């Protein structure tokens, strides 16, 4: 029995290990601490309509209220929204700390299983660059949070396996369900535990080993079925891009397992999006991957008499990767059959195997220094690689540029980079975005998002005719197959309306603006666009209504007041109009245009003397304001 002092020393060492993991992980991920939102982050963070207590209820009990039905993850996002709002640093640090916690739990599990190199494995897991995608991408809180529950459930279950404590069994089951409600890839845990138990004992007993895990298997199957349905019904994992025969899915799986093994051992040229393989059951060489994997498994089975560890590690790896091997459709398969974040949990077994081999290889007293040196070099190299990889995740444009550099045919990266550049407001960047959209269409001529971004870029460059041609093509495609994201669909209708409006087709523009508002009725910008078009059509009362709706949605934006003021003036409601102009001046006292607007309205109302100080105020702010100078001259001539 160890003494109290020895137990305290042991606990202190674990404390130092956890502290070291946290510090090392924070340093490696420092470049991504302040990273901005990426790809689908905005869809996963808590939307405005769910930020109240009722939103928390909807997260749990209204399927479809969130991007995916992972209520534990979205509850965590909800809590973070209350803590630090839209500031991204808190979200990033949360991911980093959860990842470090998973690494620490892995060390405890391996130590409990008497696996050599447990601490080394924890540091390798924490700093391996294949995990950068999971940790630096806010959306993948799904991985980092589910990972903590997954490893905690495994640890508690292993304690149950030794003690047969019903209390420990209940805790393990609760932790497993929390993991499932964070990400259902964790459904593979009971199968993984059976592999671990087989490795420990050399055989499995139905009553002792299998029966206690049946409840986990049942929950896992239910959770997996729910996610598969959700991916098909809500996310869009359906259509021609997902049509494969069973044989082709086996070819995908065989190749994917080798891809993940290689990227773990040699983590270079990691990418946010990898090339999507052309899969065909009629191409002979594609069978090499699954056949080679079957051969490896057979060899390790024959080797099990000497050691079961390699076979157990590979089986655990393959089983844990199972949901991402192509047998179940998930939306990312539209772009690639592999992704770094798919192997977040699975990697633990291979990392543990390699680190155990290193520890055993240097298991001689005379090699202690060499072992320490090798471990430091390995961890240091991985830390540097993770640090470099983290730079890719500082913002969306940087990530997409890095992706294109490693995978020039990444249609998604070209398309999304075009969208980012369109939002820059810089004509040179918008022109670059147009070229990226065109490149995307060279690789995938039917890509609606790419053509939508091309049209948007052309619109922003003032090339209205070309833009409208592209919008017409998009409209025809969307009539047959609407976008799965309603916000993008609303954005299309608004953008198409602006192109029609700019081309003088105001009646058609009104139809598009109205379609956009049916999908996204709380868009102040779309209400304003529609109000302008209606006003130009002489439908002033309708214009006033939409300008009023825009003002209700954004009461502190000066332009919303001036737009409503102009429509009220057009309707002859002078005093109401002047009240809106004065409200705009109060909201934007340093903007010359609002004073010029008020002065112009006063002058039109025959109140030249009151208009003079407004024009003078505008000229004090901008002496070159020709509208204010002309208005002042007219006002003085009439006063």
pLDDT digits (tens, 9 = 90+) for 248-287: 999 999 999 999 999 999 999 999 999 999 999 999 999 9
Q: Across residues 490-511, what is the average pLDDT?
A: 92
pLDDT per residue as tens digits for the range 356-401: 999 887 776 767 777 788 889 999 999 999 999 999 999 999 999 9
**Dist CA 222 CA 217 (whole Å):** 9
**Dist CA 204 CA 458 (whole Å):** 65
**Dist CA 539 CA 517 (whole Å):** 18
Per-position b or e across 518-539, b if 16+ CB within 10 A of its CB: ebbeebbbbbbbbbbbbbeeeb
Answer whether residue 55 shows pLDDT above 80. yes
pLDDT of residue 242: 87
Please report the DSSP string for 35-46 in residue order.
Answer: ----TTHHHHSP
With beta carbons less than 8 A apart as the criterion, state whether 186 and 149 touch: yes
pLDDT of residue 11: 52
Answer whether residue 132 shows pLDDT above 80. yes
Say if residue 613 is exposed, middle or buried (CB neighbours under 10 Å; 0-12, 13-18, 19+): middle
Between 69-78, 80-89, 260-269, 368-377, the lowest mean confidence (pLDDT) is in: 368-377
Question: Which residue would you say has higher pLDDT here, 578 or 241?
Answer: 578
Tell me the pLDDT band of 1, cut-offs 50, 70 and 90. very low
What is the DSSP code (8-state) at residue 234?
A: I
**With pLDDT > 70 as the criterion, what percentage of the chain qualifies?**
97
What is the DSSP code (8-state) at residue 486?
A: H
Answer whether residue 143 shows pLDDT above 50. yes
Count of C-beta atoms within a 10 Å radius of residue 434? 23
- Mean of pLDDT over the chain: 92
Helices (H), 269-409: 288-303, 309-321, 347-361, 368-390, 396-406
**Dist CA 326 CA 369 (whole Å):** 45
Q: How far is CA 179 from CA 172, 307, 485, in A?
A: 10, 31, 27
Answer whether residue 3 shows pLDDT above 90. no
Answer whether residue 43 shows pLDDT above 80. yes
With beta carbons less than 8 A apart as the criterion, state whether 120 and 375 touch: yes
With beta carbons less than 8 A apart as the criterion, state whether 414 and 439 touch: yes
**Dist CA 61 CA 248 (whole Å):** 37
> Which regions of 567-606 does DSSP assign to beta strands (E)?
none
Answer whether residue 217 shows pLDDT above 70. yes
SS3 424: coil
With beta carbons less than 8 A apart as the criterion, state whether 340 and 269 touch: no
**With pLDDT > 90 as the criterion, what percentage of the chain qualifies?**
79
Q: Is the dihedral of CA 85, 86, 90, 92 positive or negative?
A: positive
SS3 607: coil
Between 155-164, 212-221, 365-374, 581-590, the lowest mean confidence (pLDDT) is in: 365-374
pLDDT of residue 145: 98
């Amino acid at each position: 029995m160890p003494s109290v002092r020895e137990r305290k020393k042991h606990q202190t060492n674990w404390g130092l290990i956890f502290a070291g993991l946290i510090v090392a992980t924070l340093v490696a991920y420092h470049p991504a601490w302040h990273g901005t939102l990426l790809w689908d982050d905005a869809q996963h963070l808590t939307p405005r309509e769910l930020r109240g207590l009722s939103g928390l209820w909807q997260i749990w009990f209204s399927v479809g209220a969130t991007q995916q039905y992972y209520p534990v993850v979205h509850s965590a996002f909800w809590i973070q929204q209350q803590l630090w709002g839209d500031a991204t640093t808190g979200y990033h640090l949360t991911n980093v700390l959860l990842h470090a916690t998973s690494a620490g739990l892995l060390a405890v599990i391996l130590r409990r299983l008497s696996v050599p190199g447990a601490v080394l494995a924890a540091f390798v897991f924490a700093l391996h660059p294949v995990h950068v995608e999971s940790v630096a991408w806010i959306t993948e809180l799904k991985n980092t949070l589910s990972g903590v529950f997954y490893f905690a459930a495994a640890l508690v279950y292993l304690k149950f396996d030794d003690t047969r404590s019903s209390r420990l069994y209940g805790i393990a089951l609760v932790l497993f369900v929390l993991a499932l409600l964070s990400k259902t890839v964790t459904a593979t845990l009971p199968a993984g535990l059976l592999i671990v138990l087989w490795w420990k004992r050399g055989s499995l007993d139905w009553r002792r080993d299998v029966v206690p895990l049946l409840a986990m298997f049942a929950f896992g199957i239910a959770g997996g079925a729910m996610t598969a349905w959700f991916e098909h019904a809500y996310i869009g994992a359906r259509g021609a891009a997902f049509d494969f025969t069973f044989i082709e899915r086996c070819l995908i799986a065989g190749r994917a397992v080798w891809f993940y093994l290689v990227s773990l051992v040699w983590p270079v040229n990691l990418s946010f999006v990898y090339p999507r393989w052309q899969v065909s059951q009629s191409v002979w060489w594609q069978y090499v991957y699954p056949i080679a994997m079957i051969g490896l498994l057979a060899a390790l089975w024959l080797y099990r008499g000497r050691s079961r560890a390699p076979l157990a590690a590979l089986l655990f790896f393959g089983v844990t990767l199972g949901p991402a091997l192509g047998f179940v459709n998930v939306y990312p398969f539209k772009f690639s059959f592999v992704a770094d974040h798919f192997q977040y949990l699975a990697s633990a077994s291979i990392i543990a195997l390699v680190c155990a081999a290193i520890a055993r290889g240097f298991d001689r007293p005379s090699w202690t220094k060499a072992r320490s040196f090798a471990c430091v070099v390995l961890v240091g190299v991985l830390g540097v690689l993770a640090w470099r990889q983290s730079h890719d995740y500082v913002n969306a444009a940087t990530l997409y540029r890095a992706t294109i550099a490693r995978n020039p045919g990444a249609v998604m990266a070209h398309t999304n980079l075009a969208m980012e550049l369109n939002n820059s407001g810089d004509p040179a960047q918008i022109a670059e975005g147009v070229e990226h959209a065109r490149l995307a269409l060279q690789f995938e001529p039917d890509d609606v998002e790419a053509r939508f971004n091309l049209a948007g870029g052309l619109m922003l460059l003032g090339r209205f005719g070309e833009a409208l041609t592209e919008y017409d093509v998009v409209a025809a495609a969307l009539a047959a197959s609407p976008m799965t994201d309603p916000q993008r669909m609303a954005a299309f209708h608004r953008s198409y309306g602006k192109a029609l409006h700019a081309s003088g087709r105001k009646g058609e523009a009104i139809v598009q603006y109205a379609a956009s508002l049916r999908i996204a009725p709380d868009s102040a910008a779309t209400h304003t666009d529609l109000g302008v078009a209606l006003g130009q059509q002489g439908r002033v009362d309708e214009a006033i209504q939409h300008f009023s709706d825009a003002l209700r949605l954004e009461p502190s934006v000066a332009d919303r007041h001036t737009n409503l003021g102009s429509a009220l003036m057009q309707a002859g409601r002078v005093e109401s109009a002047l009240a809106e102009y004065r409200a705009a001046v109060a909201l934007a006292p340093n903007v010359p245009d609002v004073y010029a607007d008020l002065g112009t309205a006063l002058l039109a109302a025959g109140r030249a003397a009151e208009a003079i100080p407004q024009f003078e105020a505008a000229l004090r702010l901008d002496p070159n304001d020709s509208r204010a100078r002309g208005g002042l001259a007219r006002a003085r001539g009439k006063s």
